[in-house]
Amino acid sequence: MSQSLNKIDPRYVDGARSSVAKVLRLDSNLNSDFRDLVSVPAPVETTANNQNINLDYSQEFHTLILKHNDTNLNINSLPDSKGSFQVRLYNDTGNGVVNISNYQNFCWVGQAPGPTVLIPRTKVYIISFTYYGSYSSQYPFLKDWVGIFTTEVA
């Protein structure tokens, strides 16, 4: 598995969400005075073809390891809250096809991946999601979600 899955880039850390119960994971030489703490859940592996993976911003970072074919990502908001999170997608042995089920709800900044993303074998792709609140019902031309799609360079 790519060693980069264990690194968290401090540029993505939001110190406002810190908690003493959370752990900072950085593969760097930062000293112990670096106070930003983030919650990093364990990587999740796909367990079946056409599996549905539900993600929200209860955790700042998610790592999804593709071991099966045609994974469906469902991005969900939390009631009465706003927030951001990042998903790192690593294609281990699957076909690398990831379907973003509610793609039409997002305003994509920069590179727009399309509703289906193909991740090459052993590559790591990153998608960052931010939920700003439910505005589209009142303002039809605004999107509730913003997405940023990038490829991680080893």
Six-digit token pair at 1? 């598995």
Which whole-number Å values give the CA distances from 146 to 48, 94, 120, in the listed order? 29, 27, 24
For residue 96, tell me if it sits in a domain: yes
What is the C-alpha separation between 147 and 113, in angstroms, rounded? 10
Q: Is this prediction's pTM over 0.75?
A: no
For residue 17, tell me if it sits in a domain: no
For residue 23, tell me if it sits in a domain: no
For residue 25, tell me if it sits in a domain: no
User: Per residue in 16-49, pLDDT tens?
Assistant: 444 443 444 444 454 444 444 556 778 899 999 9
Per the CB < 8 A criterion, the answer to whether 103 and 115 are in contact is yes
For residue 22, tell me if it sits in a domain: no
What is the C-alpha separation between 16 and 30, in angstroms, rounded? 19
User: Per residue in 78-131, pLDDT tens?
Assistant: 988 888 999 999 999 999 999 999 898 899 988 888 999 999 998 889 999 999
pLDDT at 69: 98
pLDDT at 1: 41
For residue 88, tell me if it sits in a domain: yes
Amino acid identity at 121: R
Give residue 116's domain range: 40-151
- Domains of the chain: total: 1
